[in-house]
């Protein structure tokens, strides 16, 4: 929805990991980055509050018959089954790097790209299932003040920071991967174009070869 509504804006993204990647690439000023991230986390907090308010009755019934942390997982991510902190962090770094790399590849006008109007759909396929740190921390903060308390931070060996820090590491990695790979690729393409132009000039007899 966001990409379809605000895709025409040069700097329209709601994921702090993407914001950090853009700042590292020089496409977003660092002061703007700070403002963006604050707004993104606040947006997630307000969004969680809205969901809680709309589904209050159903949530109250569910919470009364469920384990405390299981009900909190409606708003923020928690590990399922045996998963170490290190493995979880590695997972978040890798998938976010892939996500940012994919987004930049779709948005890069030098690539073949998606058909006009299909960019939001293409990016949504990349984003599907990948963590958004603002969504996780913002809504987790809401659950802390909405009655779940500090257990949302201490649960699962203090898991809360993994889906926040991991994407913020992976985002710049994905951005750098795209930057260096596209730089090498387009440098080679420019050389080929120059060689083709020189060949054409020589064949037409308009140059000295």
pLDDT of residue 197: 47
Q: Mean pLDDT, 10 residues at a time, over the chain (209 residues)? A: 50 80 89 93 92 85 68 82 87 87 79 66 66 78 89 88 90 87 62 49 51
Q: How far from each other are the two terminal CA atoms of the chain, in whole angstroms?
A: 55
CATH of residue 27: 1.20.1080.10
pLDDT of residue 36: 93
Number of domains in the chain: 1
pLDDT of residue 201: 47
In a domain, 209, yes or no: no
pLDDT of residue 57: 84
> What's the whole-model pTM score?
0.69
pLDDT of residue 188: 52
Which residues form the domain of 196?
Answer: 2-204
pLDDT of residue 194: 45
pLDDT of residue 118: 67
Here the contacts of 149-157 (C-beta below 8 Å, separation 24 or greater) are 151/68, 151/69, 151/72, 152/69, 152/72, 152/76, 155/69, 155/72, 155/78, 156/69, 156/78, 156/79, 157/85
pLDDT of residue 64: 64
pLDDT of residue 31: 94
CB of 116 closer than 8 Å to CB of 4? no
In a domain, 78, yes or no: yes
**Which residues are CB-contacts of 41 (< 8 A; sequence separation ≥ 6)?**
16, 134, 137, 138, 141
pLDDT of residue 65: 57
């Amino acid at each position: 929805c966001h990409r379809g509504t605000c895709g025409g804006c040069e700097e329209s993204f709601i994921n702090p990991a993407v914001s950090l990647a853009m700042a590292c690439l020089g496409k977003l000023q660092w002061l703007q980055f700070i403002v963006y991230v604050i707004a993104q986390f606040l947006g997630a907090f307000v969004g969680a509050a809205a969901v809680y308010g709309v589904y209050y009755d159903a949530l109250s019934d569910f919470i009364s018959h469920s384990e405390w942390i299981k009900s909190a997982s409606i708003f923020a991510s928690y590990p399922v089954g045996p998963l170490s902190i290190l493995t979880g962090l590695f997972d978040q770094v890798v998938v976010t790097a892939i996500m940012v790399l994919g987004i930049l590849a779709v948005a890069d006008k030098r690539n073949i790209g998606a058909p006009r109007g299909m960019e939001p759909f293409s990016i949504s396929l990349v984003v599907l299932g990948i963590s958004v740190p603002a969504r996780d921390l913002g809504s987790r903060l809401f659950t802390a003040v909405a009655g779940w308390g500090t257990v949302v931070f201490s649960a699962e060996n203090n898991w809360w920071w993994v889906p926040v820090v991991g994407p913020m590491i992976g985002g710049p990695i994905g951005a750098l991967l795209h930057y260096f790979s596209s730089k090498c690729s387009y440098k080679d393409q420019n050389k080929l174009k120059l060689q083709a132009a020189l060949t054409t000039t020589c064949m037409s007899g308009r140059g000295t070869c």
